[in-house]
């Protein structure tokens, strides 16, 4: 099993950061790799169990299901249902913590999944750099 853990301090109030991240359908608004996103069957984007269907700028199609959303803990968890990546059992979460000394936010994005040995290195790099780091950098640029 592969495990990825990426964190970043964003120089913005934790509630402002959470307002952007908690929108399960809002990924295309701030992540540079996402071209478009819709929630299937017209469900609310904050309904646990809803499925977001989105396209990458390279044309790939991914479907993810929201499995947890907690405003009290500023935490979201989701799984991948369909993806061009050669992964199974993909389970990810995003959590925000306030940095109380200076009013900034610590964003922690992590995932675990199974991937075959031939694809492990490139898949881990894609998720860590192309998804998590790139997304957090874009989020910081938007909010700072």
* Domain of residue 114, CATH code: 3.30.530.20
Task: Spell out the per-residue pLDDT of the chain, length 144, in tens.
Answer: 999 999 999 999 999 999 999 999 999 999 999 999 999 999 999 999 999 999 999 999 999 999 999 999 999 999 999 999 999 999 999 999 999 999 999 999 999 999 999 999 999 999 999 999 999 999 999 999
> In angstroms, what CA-CA distances link 45 with 18, 22, 124, 142?
14, 9, 27, 21
pTM: 0.95
Determine the pLDDT at residue 8. Answer: 98
Backbone phi, then psi, for 42, in 5-degree steps?
65, 15
Q: In what order do the strands lie in the sheet with 51-56?
A: 2-10, 104-115, 87-99, 75-82, 61-70, 51-56, 34-39
Instruction: Indicate the number of domains in the chain.
Output: 1
Structural domain containing residue 82: 2-143
Task: Confirm if 33 and 87 have CB atoms less than 8 A apart.
Answer: no
d(CA 30, CA 9): 17
């Amino acid at each position: 099993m592969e495990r990825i853990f990426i964190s970043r301090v964003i120089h913005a109030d934790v509630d402002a950061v959470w307002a952007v991240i908690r929108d399960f359908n809002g990924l295309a608004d701030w992540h540079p790799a996402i071209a478009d996103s819709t929630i299937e069957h017209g469900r609310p984007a904050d309904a646990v169990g809803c499925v977001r269907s989105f396209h990458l700028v390279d044309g790939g199609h991914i479907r993810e299901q929201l499995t947890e959303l907690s405003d009290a803990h500023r935490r979201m968890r989701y799984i991948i249902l369909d993806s061009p990546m050669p992964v199974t059992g993909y389970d990810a979460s995003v959590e925000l913590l306030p940095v109380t000394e200076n009013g900034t936010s610590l964003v922690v994005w992590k995932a675990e999944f199974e991937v075959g040995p031939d694809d492990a290195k490139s898949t881990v790099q894609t998720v860590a750099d192309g998804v998590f780091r790139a997304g957090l950098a874009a989020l910081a640029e938007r909010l700072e």
